[in-house]
């Protein structure tokens, strides 16, 4: 239940999802179970304040909620397909992902309502962008189980969003454990690079330019390719000329001719690569340009590949930290 990001969808991430918190109501209902099962609480989701089980036992997850809830050990009984995230999953999570019943495809329109009903969930967590929610018959899903929509906004918001998704599914214990591991590693790397990273004025080339249109993807702070590196002290300069909603608040798509103006002041440049280290076509297009080769940072040999830039869970972000560490290691030898 995911629509791949294109520049169009990035613009569609448009809507700011205002409800960011969640909480239990003081007058939660109790079916009489002493272990907490049967109790409910009111949860603030993108689709309103929803009454959900305090302790869900059968959860269906879609979109960005899929890797989060697998990683958090939520009691999943059905998920949407999430092929684009497979390279970022751990072996354990990938095995779990493959075994789980798929009740929806990669796109929101590929929702199998009958399969969801057959899974008999007591909670459905939808992790798609707000504009895509219109492709789903939420009312039909609500006739099956409570539905909470918690979808992506600005790329760096995955931290809050994943927490909310895990909270809704009653899976915060394992979630918090993985988060703590990530934060410890990020702090160690920040210490490792504290003498070199803060001194650099960084730029980033992302993988969502369009070769056919002659554009490249310039990412600023809090974007896909930058937000995890920022956790260890990287500082990306500049800002979007004409900010838009969602991801367009932190990235833009200039023409290739604007490369010198966009990245000419950078002391160093990072760029997105695939999980296997290969350079995406859109990034290769930039790197093959004479304009790229004449950039001061490129001439100085200060270009650094970063993998797993689409990480949206703390476990996945651990892989990003490994990639960032490997990329920046030469800085310590200078």
What pLDDT was estimated at residue 37? 62
User: What does pTM read for this prediction?
Assistant: 0.88
Residue 91 buriedness (CB in 10 A; 0-12 / 13-18 / 19+)? exposed
* Bridge partner residues of 271 (DSSP): 205, 305
What pLDDT was estimated at residue 92? 97
Average pLDDT, the chain: 90
In this model, does residue 253 exceed pLDDT 60? yes
**Do 141 and 18 lie in a common domain?**
yes
Overall average pLDDT of the 253-275 stretch: 98
Residue 248 tokens, joined: 């367009």
**Do 197 and 286 lie in a common domain?**
yes
Domain count, the chain: 2
* Domain annotation covers residue 176: no
Of 170, 204, 227, which marks where a domain is finished? 170
What does the alpha-carbon distance between residue 218 and residue 10 come to, in Å, rounded to a whole number?
13
Range of the domain at 119: 7-170
Overall average pLDDT of the 192-197 stretch: 97
**Do 13 and 124 lie in a common domain?**
yes
* Domain annotation covers residue 49: yes
**Do 205 and 309 lie in a common domain?**
yes
What pLDDT was estimated at residue 131? 85
* Domain annotation covers residue 183: no
Residue 310 tokens, joined: 């689409």
Overall average pLDDT of the 178-187 stretch: 98
Assign 285 a pLDDT band (cuts: 50, 70, 90): very high
DSSP result, 5-44: --HHHHHHTTS----------TT----S-TTSTT-EEEEE
* Domain annotation covers residue 153: yes
Share of the chain above pLDDT 70, in %: 89
Overall average pLDDT of the 306-331 stretch: 98
Contact 215, 209 (CB under 8 A): yes
What pLDDT was estimated at residue 9? 38
**Do 288 and 256 lie in a common domain?**
yes
What pLDDT was estimated at residue 34? 38
Residue 313 buriedness (CB in 10 A; 0-12 / 13-18 / 19+)? buried
What pLDDT was estimated at residue 83? 95
In this model, does residue 16 exceed pLDDT 90? no
* Domain annotation covers residue 24: yes
Q: Identify the CATH number of the domain in which residue 310 sits.
A: 3.40.50.1980
Query: What's the distance, Cα to Cα, between the start and end of the chain in Å?
Result: 46
Residue 118 tokens, joined: 């057959």
**Do 143 and 35 lie in a common domain?**
yes
What does the alpha-carbon distance between residue 42 and residue 68 come to, in Å, rounded to a whole number?
21
**Do 49 and 115 lie in a common domain?**
yes
**Do 201 and 297 lie in a common domain?**
yes
What pLDDT was estimated at residue 260? 98
Overall average pLDDT of the 239-245 stretch: 93
**Do 280 and 139 lie in a common domain?**
no
**Do 222 and 302 lie in a common domain?**
yes
What pLDDT was estimated at residue 35? 47
What does the alpha-carbon distance between residue 103 and residue 62 come to, in Å, rounded to a whole number?
9
What pLDDT was estimated at residue 27? 38
**Do 118 and 264 lie in a common domain?**
no
* Domain annotation covers residue 1: no
pLDDT, tens only, 18-77: 333 344 333 344 443 434 568 999 999 999 999 999 999 999 999 999 999 999 999 999
Assign 246 a pLDDT band (cuts: 50, 70, 90): confident
**Do 241 and 128 lie in a common domain?**
no
């Amino acid at each position: 239940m995911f629509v791949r990001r294109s520049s169009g969808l990035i613009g569609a991430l448009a809507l700011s999802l205002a409800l960011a918190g969640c909480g239990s109501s003081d007058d939660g209902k109790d079916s009489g179970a002493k272990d907490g099962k049967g109790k409910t609480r009111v949860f603030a989701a993108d689709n309103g304040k929803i009454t959900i089980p305090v302790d869900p036992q059968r959860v269906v997850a879609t979109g960005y909620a899929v890797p989060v809830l697998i990683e958090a050990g939520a009691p999943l009984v059905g998920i949407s397909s999430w092929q684009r995230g497979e390279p970022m999953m751990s072996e354990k999570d990938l095995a779990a992902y493959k075994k789980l019943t798929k009740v929806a495809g990669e796109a929101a329109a590929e929702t199998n309502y009958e399969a969801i009903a057959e899974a008999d969930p007591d909670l459905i967590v939808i992790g798609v962008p707000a504009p895509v929610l219109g492709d789903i018959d939420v009312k039909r899903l609500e006739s099956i189980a409570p539905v909470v929509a918690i979808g992506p906004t600005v790329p760096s918001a995955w931290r809050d969003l994943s927490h909310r998704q895990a909270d809704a599914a009653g899976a915060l214990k394992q979630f918090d454990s993985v988060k703590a591991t990530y934060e410890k590693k990020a702090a160690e790397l920040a210490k490792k690079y504290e003498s070199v990273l803060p001194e650099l004025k960084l730029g980033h080339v992302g993988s969502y330019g369009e070769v056919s249109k002659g554009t490249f993807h310039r990412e600023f702070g809090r974007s896909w390719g930058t937000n995890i590196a920022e956790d260890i002290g990287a500082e990306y300069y500049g800002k979007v000329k004409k900010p838009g909603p969602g991801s367009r608040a932190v990235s833009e798509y200039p023409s290739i001719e604007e490369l010198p103006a966009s990245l000419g002041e950078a002391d160093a440049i990072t760029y997105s690569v695939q999980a296997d280290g290969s350079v995406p076509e859109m990034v290769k297009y930039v790197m093959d340009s004479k304009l790229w080769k004449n950039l001061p940072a490129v001439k100085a040999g200060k270009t650094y590949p970063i993998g797993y830039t689409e990480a949206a869970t703390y476990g996945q972000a651990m892989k990003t930290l490994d990639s960032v560490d490997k990329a920046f290691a030469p800085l310590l030898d200078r």
